[in-house]
Amino acid sequence: MTTQLDILVSAAQINQRVEELTAEIADRLDEEAVVIGLLQGAFVFMADVVRGLARHGKTPRTDFLWLSSYGDSHESGGRINVLADLQKPIGGRQVLIVDDVYDTGRTILFAKSYLASKGAREVLTCLLARKPLAAELPAPDYLGFDLPDRFLVGYGLDDAGRGRGLPDICAVKT
Ligand SMILES: O=P(O)(O)OC[C@H]1O[C@H](OP(=O)(O)OP(=O)(O)O)[C@H](O)[C@@H]1O
């Protein structure tokens, strides 16, 4: 990427927080729980969450829900589109949503009510990062980091489709 970036959270800090979070989550997940990643942003964090859970003795089923509202823009389009649905029913099950960032909150709000409408018994949320706007909204059950109101890239987060593979959470220099 040619964009100038500041590192806000290093890969080592992420690893340590994932270890703490997954220890807590493992205590709460029941044997039939399903961990659901929101594509695309969650895929890197999700991979670390499920491996952390395994280190803490839990190997839940996984699934993905592909939602989109930003496209290539830095602003939410307001409308959430379901680009690809879950592959298996979740009726009566505890689910844990994993996503990269809680910003306007539209995506998580939508995902929670969507999964509840599919019959989930309990919907828990695990967010890697929260922006200041979302601090006014209901807190996620599990949160990695509170970060400033800057456009984030790396560790799953993209800038117009690029940068998801960067190992740190960075912010675009303006
Ligand atoms: O709290 P919000 O304002 O709703 O923003 C958060 C959502 O925005 C991004 O998704 P995006 O629609 O860009 O799709 P992506 O996951 O494919 O990047 C991100 O991955 C979150 O899911």
Residue 30 burial (10 A CB sphere; 0-12, 13-18, 19+): exposed
> Is 99 a known active-site residue?
no
Binding site membership of 70 for ligand 1 (Cβ less than 6 Å)? yes
- Tell whether ligand 1 has an atom less than 6 A from the beta carbon of residue 101: yes
Q: Residue 40 and residue 159: Cα distance in Å, rounded? A: 12
Tell me: the pLDDT tens digits for 95-133? Answer: 999 999 999 999 999 999 999 999 999 999 999 999 999
pLDDT for the residue numbered 1: 61
Give residue 11's pLDDT: 98
Question: Is the predicted pLDDT of residue 145 greater than 80, yes or no?
Answer: yes
Catalytic-labelled residue, pool 103, 141, 149, 159: 103
List the residue whose alpha carbon is closest to atom 20 of ligand 1.
Answer: 41
Q: How far is the CA of 31 from the centre of ligand 1 (A)?
A: 29
Q: Mean pLDDT for the chain? A: 96
All domains of the chain, ordered by start, with CATH? 16-22+30-69+79-148 (3.40.50.2020)
pLDDT digits (tens, 9 = 90+) for 37-78: 999 999 999 999 999 999 999 999 999 999 999 888 888 888
The complex scores an ipTM of: 0.98
Which pLDDT score is estimated for 78? 87
Q: Confidence class of residue 3 from pLDDT cuts 50, 70 and 90? A: confident
| Omega cis (within 30) before 13 | no
- Residue 77 has a pLDDT of 83
Alpha-carbon gap, residue 5 to 142, rounded angstroms: 27
- Ligand 1 midpoint to CA 68 (Å): 6
User: Which atom of ligand 1 sits closest to the CA of residue 102?
Assistant: 1
Rounded CA gap, 26 and 32, in Å? 12
| pLDDT of the residue at 156 | 98
41: Cβ below 6 Å to ligand 1? yes
